[in-house]
A = this chain, B = another copy of it.
Amino acid sequence: MSRFCVGIDVGGTTVKLGIFENNGQLMRKWEIPTRKEHNGCNILTDVAVSIRRTLDEMGIKFSEVGGAGMGVPGPVARSGYVPRCVNLGWGECYPARDLSLMLDGLPVLCANDANIAALGEMWQGGGKGYDDIVMITLGTGVGGGVVIDQKIVAGRHGLAGEIGHTHVRDDETEYCNCGSRGCLEQVASATGIVREAKLFMASSGKESALREFDEKTLTAKDVIDTAKAGDELAMEVVECVCYYLGRSLAQLALTIDPEIFVIGGGVSKAGQFLIDIIQKYYVQYETLSENRPLIGLAKLGNDAGIYGAARMVLD
């Protein structure tokens, strides 16, 4: 009988790893650097060696481990096929199959990193106790993950959960990294919030504490903290950001209707202050029923990925 499972979250700078008990208890977590040189050909070997060494140190036998789940920063087909992972230097590959070969045939599953973060939050984080959740990660970009019936909805072309690139704004003049214009990410990511603040400062004559910051180092946290402190212009920026977020959540409620939305990423550290303003706009755009998905905060921070990766292999 297996008692343990392994969670792996491969990022562009570090690989996060965790050994879990099947009940969700994190036994040990650690990180190793992501060696991207030579098209990232050492990444999986490093992961395999590190897992073997750690299990050994912990006195856990391979026969006690049910499997390992792995999140990677790119699209993953159901077959485990990865067309490319730009941030890791990988071209076409089957990372789960390859890692399994390096771990004596241990079952390994692979999925997109934003999707496993959603699964992690469902298992032991802000979505604990719910089967259907949508996670929105407000970081440098805006990521998303959809979980229905405790399973990741990966989509057929690796596009599921790419909520940051849904169109929200008709009058957007700049292009998003994805090549489109008016994406949610352009207004609601940390980068987007700073850009928005600069636009508001440029177009408004209002006095504002925001103007005392160096524009070059202004952060989303500065903008939100200034709004929390009662600054009128900063508040207008936050209202604008939350308007688009609330509207997007309403669209998601009217499409897949999860039990709860879980908001994560650096921006979500603003906490209930942010949720309350998002909620105000959300209810304006979901008027079919007062019985609608909840909005909550993520709880696992950067560990969501290893939790979700480990959870994948428990089905």
Residues of A near any B CB (own CB < 8 A): 75, 132, 144, 146, 148, 153-163, 165-167, 170, 178-180, 247, 250-259, 284-289, 291-293
Residue among B158, B160, B178, B288 making CB contact with A159, cutoff 8 Å: B288
| Min CB–CB distance A25 → chain B (angstroms) | 28
Contact call B254/A159, Cβ cutoff below 8 A: yes
User: Would you give the shortest CB distance from A308 to chain B, in whole angstroms?
Assistant: 18
Q: Which residues of B contact A293 (CB under 8 A)?
A: 156-157
Judged by DSSP, the binding face of A is loop
Determine which of B148, B167, B254 lies in contact with A153 in the assembled complex, contact meaning CB atoms within 8 Å. Answer: B148
**CB pair B247 A156 closer than 8 Å:** no
Are the C-beta atoms of B160 and A292 separated by less than 8 Å?
Answer: no
Q: Is A156 in contact with B132, judged by CB distance below 8 angstroms? A: yes
Report the copy number of this chain in the oligomer.
2
A250's partner among B154, B167, B250, B291 (CB-CB below 8 A) is B167
Q: A159-B254, A162-B255 are in contact. List 8 more A-B contacts (CB 8 A).
A: A155-B257, A156-B293, A157-B289, A159-B257, A159-B289, A160-B255, A167-B251, A255-B255
Known: A157-B291, A159-B289. A166 touches B256 (CB 8 A): no
B180, B251, B256: the one within 8 Å of A146 (CB): B256
A–B pairs, 25, beta carbons within 8 Å: A144-B255, A146-B255, A146-B256, A148-B148, A148-B153, A155-B256, A155-B258, A156-B258, A157-B253, A157-B289, A157-B291, A157-B292, A157-B293, A158-B257, A158-B291, A159-B253, A159-B254, A159-B288, A160-B255, A162-B254, A167-B250, A178-B288, A180-B286, A252-B255, A256-B256
Determine how close the nearest CB of chain B comes to the CB of A128; give it in whole angstroms: 16
A166 touches which of B162, B251, B259 (Cβ 8 Å): B251
Contact A179 B287 (CB under 8 A): yes
C-alpha gap A189/B3 in the complex (Å): 54
**Given the complex of chains A and B, what is the CA–CA distance between A153 and B291 in angstroms?**
17
With A157-B257, A160-B256, A256-B146: A167-B287 Cβ-Cβ less than 8 Å = no
A256 to B145, CA, bound (A): 10
Using Cβ atoms and an 8 Å threshold, which residues of chain B touch A286?
Answer: 159, 165, 180
**Contact check: which of B146, B165, B247, B257 meets A167 at CB < 8 Å?**
B247
Chain B residues positioned under 8 Å from A179 (CB to CB): 287
Q: How far is the CB of A189 from chain B (nearest CB, A)?
A: 15
Q: Which residues of B contact A170 (CB under 8 A)?
A: 170
* Chain B hits for A292, CB < 8 A: 157, 159
Residue of B nearest to A130 (CB): B156
State in angstroms the CA–CA spacing of A253 and B286 once bound together.
Answer: 20
Q: Which residues of chain B come closer than 8 Å to A148, judged between CB atoms?
A: 148, 153
A144, A161, A255 interface centre (most CB from chain B within 10 Å): A255
A167–B132 touching, CB < 8 Å = no
Closest A-B pairs by Cβ, 8 of them: A155-B257, A179-B287, A159-B257, A160-B257, A162-B254, A166-B251, A157-B291, A180-B287
